[in-house]
Amino acid sequence: MAGGARQPGRSVTSRVLAVLGAFDADHAELPLTAVAERSGLPLSTAHRLVAELTAWGALTRTAGGSYRVGLRLWELGQLAPGSWRELAHPWLQELSAATRENVHLAVCDGTEVLYVEKVHGRRAVPIASRVGGRLPLHTTGVGKVLLAWRGAEFVHTYLARELERPTPYALTEPGRLHRELEEVRRRGWASTAEEMTLGSCSLAVPVRRGGGASGRVVAAVGVVVAASRTQELPRLLPALLRTAEGIGRGVAGGA
Amino acid sequence: MAGGARQPGRSVTSRVLAVLGAFDADHAELPLTAVAERSGLPLSTAHRLVAELTAWGALTRTAGGSYRVGLRLWELGQLAPGSWRELAHPWLQELSAATRENVHLAVCDGTEVLYVEKVHGRRAVPIASRVGGRLPLHTTGVGKVLLAWRGAEFVHTYLARELERPTPYALTEPGRLHRELEEVRRRGWASTAEEMTLGSCSLAVPVRRGGGASGRVVAAVGVVVAASRTQELPRLLPALLRTAEGIGRGVAGGA
DNA sequence: CGGCCCGCTTCCGCCCAGCGGAAACCCGGT
DNA sequence: ACCGGGTTTCCGCTGGGCGGAAGCGGGCCG
């Protein structure tokens, strides 16, 4: 009865992609059985595909026998359109040097924050954001900025679902969040106080296409500090605004 | 006669990977016919695979109808083992802040330099290195360092082939290169003078596992400046050495 | 304007690569 | 030695993949 129970209608390509899709930030390293489970493939199918992907370099095998994304995919990934990163990097480097803190740039992708660049030095505390990573809009400084300028309909839809609550301080009630977003729009900046990660606070401002105060908000730039240094955040606002202005002015064309 | 001339013995997975492999730094954006050519697939096969890859996000279609690596592959690529990048980033950020120049970390992969991290500010001149990119060993500062400590057999094999000559200043004669590498080993650092890119000079030092002067050389850290500022390079050596030491001490374990 | 060329998209008869359950193997723990 | 869990291998069965060729669209040229 071998081969008798195959799943019809699913292409090989979709299976290969399902294998790749099994990996994410919380599952960066997976044993074969987990790859099979997460990709919805029978063990031996997963095994065949994983072997070929590994031979090519898309996956790599760890010393412990698990698999993770391989160097070749990383190299390939670097070819993806990176104008945001290229444009923002030098500005973020200078902001990082000026503040000695974590700084990052994010865009809104779907209903999440997507971090496209981050710069930090040795003194900066470890934070949750990661280049290529995603976090909720409502619990992050950059996310609140992106949400605040996204439009009533988007906000309405976003708030209609059950919101993540990574810490007890996260705002998840629609009413409170609405007011918070109004405040963000009025002030021109957003902050978080241990809403994403205990021990971390952030400040973020919008990046507007073309700079100035009226361009469309296309990204957000933020700084994250240890909660013990939260009183420093207001002092960082001017530098943050200058960075956002500089990046925004470079966006006139595409991105 | 449709289907009569198929290429037997080639798996779908290998075809999918061939499509992805069609993209590289010099061909970051490709029309469908070029994808087909470079992957060695008939046009309609390439078309089918590209469509599925695009639907998944591995490729993306530009406004002009060409294809390039998509965001999702970039996100996935960020999951690749990145201990070099993570370890080196804060050190490079501080070196960049201190020097106001391009700084990067590279390892030797195969017979090439592979750049794993780079940091620069707004004042730094554009340079040839790119995260995820590769350049020749013999024409780059970091490459000379990596080559100098790679062992006689490797050097011999490397020099036996015809060497790239990106600029008229590139050293390509084995005798001269041997002497250069001896000098690098004696001094403990390498430099280039418009050997990779006209208008750019570099200085690089080895990163040794565990730091110190006797650990195995496992990477190189370098700084690139405009040729007009080449007289500044000696002044940057102490900072470069400190950075290499700091990174090397963090390598004790894996990487 | 019509014809030509090029790149892309669609189609469908043909065929072989892929499937996956099950057995075998390996390794670590008790 | 036994057991259990994870991995690797095998092979009868089958449906997805192949790719030449036709069709389509757009740009260029006479």
Reported as a single tens digit per residue, the pLDDT across B68-94 is 999 999 999 999 887 889 999 999 999
Cα–Cα distance, B204 to B220 (Å, whole number)? 7
Flag whether B165 is in a domain.
yes
Do B78 and A122 count as a contact with CB atoms less than 8 A apart?
Answer: no
Find the residue in B nearest to A55 (Cα): B14
Provide the pLDDT for residue A7. Answer: 67
Cα–Cα distance, B56 to B73 (Å, whole number)? 10
Q: What is the CATH number of the domain that holds B24?
A: 1.10.10.10
- In chain A, the number of structural domains is 2
Q: Is the dihedral of CA A39, A45, A47, A51 positive or negative?
A: negative
Of residues A58, A90, A86, A88, the one with CA closest to residue A74: A58
Q: Same structural domain for residues B61 and B107?
A: no
The string of pLDDT tens digits covering residues A85-126 is 999 999 999 999 999 999 999 999 999 999 999 999 998 888
User: Is A207 a residue whose pLDDT tops 50?
Assistant: yes
- What is the ipTM score, two decimals? 0.86
Shortest Cα–Cα distance, B52 to chain A (Å): 7
Q: Which of residues B77, B103, B126 is at a domain's end? A: B77
Interface test with A, best of B20, B26, B76, B115 (most A CBs within 10 A): B76
Q: Same structural domain for residues A27 and A123?
A: no
The string of pLDDT tens digits covering residues A27-58 is 999 999 999 999 989 888 999 999 999 989 99
Of residues A107, A103, A2, A79, the one with CA closest to residue A45: A2
Provide the pairing of β-strand A217-226 with B29-30: unpaired
Q: Does B126 touch chain A (CB under 8 A)?
A: no
Flag whether B1 is in a domain.
no
Provide the pLDDT for residue B8. Answer: 66
Q: Which of residues A46, A77, A108 is at a domain's end? A: A77
Provide the pLDDT for residue B241. Answer: 96
Average pLDDT, chain A: 91
Segments forming the whole domain that contains residue B21 = 12-77
Of residues B72, B85, B150, the one with CA closest to residue B112: B150
Q: What is the CATH number of the domain that holds A216?
A: 3.30.450.40
What is the average per-residue pLDDT within A127-135?
Answer: 90
Residue ranges of chain B with per-residue pLDDT less than 70: 1-8, 252-255
Flag whether B194 is in a domain.
yes
Partners of A107 in the beta sheet?
A114
Query: The sheet that has A217-226: what strands, in order across it?
Result: A134-136, A112-119, A102-109, A217-226, A200-208, A190-193
Do B132 and A79 count as a contact with CB atoms less than 8 A apart?
Answer: yes
Positions of strand C less than 7 angstroms from a protein CB: 7-22
Cα–Cα distance, A218 to A208 (Å, whole number)? 6
Listed range (A74-83, A92-101, A108-117, A193-202) with the worst mean pLDDT = A74-83
Q: Could you give the C-alpha distances from B191 to B35, B187, B199, in angstroms and in order?
A: 38, 11, 14
Provide the pLDDT for residue B92. Answer: 96
Q: Which of residues A27, A58, A77 is at a domain's end? A: A77
